[in-house]
Structure formats: C-alpha cells, structure tokens
Chains A and B, each alone.
Chain A
Amino acid sequence: MIQDDCESPVITNKSPHPALKNTSTKSKLTPFKTVVAFSSKNQAGIYRPNHEQCPPITMENSFTEALSHTNFSTLDWILVVLYLSISVLIGLFVKKYVRNMTTYLGAGRAIGTCLGIATMTGTEMGLITVMYSSQKGFTGGFAAFHIALAAAIVTFIVGATGFIVCRLRDLKVLTIPEFYERRFDRKTRILGGVMLAFGGILNMGLFLKVGSMFVVGITGMSQDSRALPAVMTVLLALVLVYTVMGGMISVIVTDYIQFVVLSFGILAATVVCLNQLGWENIVNTVQELKGEEGFNPLMEGSGFGWSYVAWMFFTAGLVSCAIWPTAVARALAMESTKAVKKQYMWSSLSFMIRFIIPYFWGICALVYFTTSAPDLQELFLPTDPNVEPVNNLYAMPIFLGRVLPVGLIGIITAAMIAAFMSTHDSYLLCWSSVITQDIIAPIRGKNFSTASRIKWTRILIVVIGLYILYWGLIYEGGDDIWDYMAVTGAIYFTGAFSLLIGGLYWKGASSTGAFLALLSGMTALLGLDPVQRLVGLKWVDPKTNEDVQYLSGDEVGLMTVAFTMVVFVAGSLLFPDKPKTQSTKPIEA
C-alpha cells in the first residue's frame, strides 16, 4: 500500500533488527483478528519507494524508536546498582557461617516459616516466569488465569496434606537423588542425578537470553550495543560471587530482601496499571478483541483446552511445588515438618501471585497497545498480515517502561533483576550440588571429604555459570521458550514423579522399576518441535502451508507421565527387590 506521506510504510526485504530474530514464542493460540502468531523468522523492513527524500522507515528503526520512549532514568540506574551491591555484600558477610554441606546446602535446617515463605517466593518468582507469564497474558487474555488458580489449589493441598514434601523432610535428605539411594539403590541415585542435572542445566539455557530481553525492553538499552552483554555478564558474575561464597545462607537472605522489594514493587506497579487503564476498560477491551476465548480456558480456540488445563494442574501445580528440586530444597531446609506445611499453605498464595500479576501486566500491555499506543500496536499487532509482529516477550517490559514513573520503574527493575539473580543462584546451587552429592560422591565413596565437596560444588557453580553465559549470549536458536522449558523439565520430572510417589508411598516399589521409569522420562523429548517433525508427529500441510500436529506438547507430557508410571509399576512387579538388610530398609511412614 503506497501513501503520499512519509509516515506510511511498505514492506521491504532489508535485514531486520537483531531483536526480531530472537527466540520464538510460538504457542497454540488463536490469532487476534488478522494477526498471526509470532515466529522466529526474520522480519522484513519497510520503506517508502516513491519518496526517496523520506528516510527509510525500517521495522528495526521503529522498534528502536519504540524502545526509546521508556521512563527509565539515571535515578533508576542508581537504585539498581545500589540493590545489587547489597546482594554481593551479603554473600561475602555470610561466608564465615559455612562449615559443612548441611550449612552450605541446607542453611543448617534452621529456616523459620516466614523466611521459608519469602525464600520460596523469591526463588520461584523468577524473571523468566514473569516474562513468559506476561506473554501468556498478552496472548491468552484472562483465560490464562486458570494456570495461576491451578498452581494455588495444588500447592495448598500439598501444604495441607504434606504430600511428598513432609516425608522427604522427615528423611533429612539434602537432595532428591539422595532419597533415591536411600529408597532404591546407588545406581538409581546416579542415574537420577544425571537426569536431574542434565534436564535442569538445559532448562536454564535460555534464562539469560530472556533476562536480557527484559533489560532491553524496560531500560531502552539497544540490543546492538556492547552494554547489554556486559550487563548480563556482570549480573551473572555477581550471582556467582555470592552463591559460591555463602551457599544456601546467602541465597536465603538475598531471597528475603528480594521478596520484600519485589512484593511491594509489583503491588505498586499493579496499582499504577489499574489507575492508568481502569479495570472495566481492560475487561471490555479483552472482550472486544477476543470474545469469550479471552476468558474461558476450556473453550475451543482459547489456546488452552481441557488437556492443557489438566497439564497445568500437573506442571504449574504439583511439579512446581513438590517435585521441582529448587522448591523441594526449601522444604528440606525448613526447621520442622510443621513449618513445611505452613510454608506451603502460605506459599500457595505466592505461587498464584507469581503468575496472576504478570498475566495481568501482559493483558494491560495488550490493552495499552490497542487503545493508547498506535506505534506499539503496529509493531506487535500489525494489521498487514504480511508483516511479522515483533517478539511479544518484549510487550510487558516496554509497556512498564512507558507507564511506570521514574523511581518506581527503578525499584521494579531492581526487583526483577533480583528475581533473575535469585533464580540463578538457587538453580546454580541446586544443579551443582546434585552433581557433587549425587554423581561424584557416590562414585568416589568415602574418600570425598566435606571440604572437597564444598570445593567441587563451588567449581561446578562457576562452570555451569559459564555455560549459561555462553548459551545465553551466543545461542540464536528458534525454540519456543515455554515448550523448551517444559520439555527439558519433563526429562526429569516425568520420571521423578513416579519415583517420589512410588518410593514414598508404595512398599512394592523396586529399584529396577525406578531405573526404568527414569529412563522412560526421556520420551518427553517427543514434545520438542524438531523431534516431533523428525518422527512425523508434526508436519506442514502442503495444501494450506500450515503446521499440522498430531499430538500437542501438553498431550505428549501427560502421556509421558502415564507411561513412566506404567513402566515403574510393571518394572517393580516384574523385578522386585531382593530382601534388604537393616541399613538399607526404606523408612516406613
């Protein structure tokens, strides 16, 4: 379409802004009117061929221009630097308390209820959760709220009943694979440790990339500048310093500070969003754009559906609080099982908030773009179906950058960066301790002193940190973030689900059944897009040129869980354990 003024665009094939080549966030969502789901394809630029005097208006320029409208100021940078400095000082201060693996990994099992809630929330309300959740809200509308509700209900039930977590706490293990050895045998522990570390470290691969997108979006920093990789490297270095030095103690104290800053920060930001846009306006705009699909997650076309909702009860609910090792690690560090139950029941509210507020911000971004920011609407929801939209992971940070006032935006950014760091410190500690305690230590046997274990854990923290830095700054893959995380996580938790429940609640569970169940968790890889295409579960329809999928990611996930359970039960019944000696008998309820 050619217009007479310089403002109207036409499509070109100029090379796109690097941000537009970033990680895809494709998911099974209904398009907004004529807008198609985003992809990782390079986006074309735009120009005005009939008016050479007009400067070429490329998508990259439009995106850079949109980024520059942030309210982020020098004061906000000062707030961010101040906060980060405090975190590092804490790590250095608590180093003197680290004497053995129990204090390094378990903070001496002396965590009170309130601190337990704060640290659980601090760890689990990570920046990547906020980013992909806000994206879900942007694309799914209020229907996405069902995930938050599922997380809250299941976490509360786990807390009320003590399901899985209290029994683990009673056993006084430091890691989940340690439980595997106690209940089954050493080879199960080693395999469990390998699966856990493998899935977990892969799972972290895109954290830095997604974190950098938030920093770019809210600060207006150029994606092309050298400042961005330097910022990400500095952040990771800070995390490594205080995690290596202080272990779980510094993780918990920094999590507490992050909880305080983040809680009040996100509540204040939410109030600003409500004042800016108005609740009625938000609801009515979503209704106009999406109809009932924007509210009802069970509806065909909402992008969710019954199988997805069931999958969310399992993953966002049970796995997130009772099987994912970083959450379980908090339970193992609590002072008593009574404190564990209280922690989980109260944390159910935090688990809901960590989803529902980012969803709401994503919804607000959508409403803001369509009602108050035509430049952003054109970038994220272009009316021309031939123009690819910008990766909508940027939607929330750009929106917040525009509506939050100076000062509050600095506090939120500091809190989000803190959330980014607290996720990293917990995960780095978790995966490195799994490798030390559950792979190296069982192999080396008694010749592995406490000092060596701590030393190895620290070395591994640095090594894994370097891998994440390399992967996050160099990797340019086109994977869907949620699918990538779900699949890499499922490699571990599909097998772990059977082993934990079977091992804790079924006397007939055997080590052979456990070993086979862990291996069968690898079938979760069938949920990954390239694997699906390879084995014929997904293909392009030659008539419509659109993807046809035989099984969705959530369906693969549910089937993998069922498959590992069947394998576990069958393996245990067919290959029962030999009668055990007193030292290796499973702990009775």
Chain B
Amino acid sequence: MNMWKTLWTILFFGSITLFAGMAVWVTIGGFRDIKTLFQRLSEDQSVDEE
C-alpha cells in the first residue's frame, strides 16, 4: 500500500506543479496565437474580397 500512496502523492503534486507552469506558458502563448489567428483570417478575408 505504501507504494501506491507514494505513487499517487508524486503523481498528484508533480502534475499540479507541471500544470501550473504549463498554464502560464499556454496563457501567454495562446494570446499570441489568437492575434496571429485573427491576422491570418483578416488577410484571407482581404484576398477573398479582392
């Protein structure tokens, strides 16, 4: 049972820590991606209108 307890403890705190870091990265990177997305969509729209 101690093995399982240790496994779940490491899994829980490890994943929380990694997820916190990933959340920060995705928040910043995702904002940049949204700007790029709208730029591309606007460019495509301009091409279509021409």
Contacts and interface: CB of A to CB of B under 8 A. Distances in A.
A431 interface: no
Given A253-B34, A295-B8, A296-B1, A114 B26 contact: yes
Q: Quick one: which of A110, A253, A270 has the most chain B CB within 10 A? A: A110
Interface string B16-41: 10111011011111111110111011
Interface stretch (A66-74, A349-357, A577-585): A349-357
Interface residues of B, number: 33
B30 A256 contact: yes
Among B1, B23, B27, the one with the most A-chain Cβ atoms within 10 Å of its Cβ is B23
B19 A267 contact: yes
Contacts of B25: 114
A118 interface: yes
B12 A356 contact: yes
A142 B8 contact: yes
A263 B5 contact: no
Contact of B30 (A103, A114, A264): A114
B19 A113 contact: no
Interface of B: 1, 4-5, 8-9, 11-12, 15-16, 18-20, 22-23, 25-34, 36-38, 40-42, 44-45, 48
Given A99-B48, A145-B11, A267 B41 contact: no
A360 interface: yes
A111 interface: yes
Interface of A: 96-97, 99, 103, 107-108, 110-118, 121, 142-143, 145, 148-149, 152, 249, 252-253, 256, 259-260, 263-264, 267, 270, 279, 283, 287, 292, 295-296, 346, 349-350, 352-353, 356-357, 360
A350 B21 CA distance: 12
B33 A114 contact: yes
Nearest to B2: A295
Contacts of B1: 287, 292, 295-296
Contacts of A107: 37
Nearest to B22: A349
Contacts of A114: 25-26, 28-30, 32-33
A296 B23 CA distance: 30
Contacts of B26: 114, 117-118, 121, 259, 263, 346
Contact of B4 (A142, A148, A352): A142
B16 A267 contact: yes
A357 B16 CA distance: 8
A112 B33 contact: yes
Contacts of B40: 108, 110
A145 B8 contact: yes
B41 A110 contact: yes
Contacts of A252: 37
A295 B5 contact: yes
Given A110-B36, A353-B19, A115 B30 contact: yes
A349 B19 contact: yes
A295 to B, nearest CB: 4
B28 to A, nearest CB: 8
A270 B12 CA distance: 11
A110 B29 contact: no
Contacts of A149: 11
Contacts of B12: 145, 356, 360
Contact of B41 (A117, A249, A260): A249
B10 to A, nearest CB: 11
Contacts of A352: 15
Contact of B37 (A112, A152, A260): A112
Contact of A264 (B18, B23, B29): B23
Contact of A349 (B4, B15, B27): B15
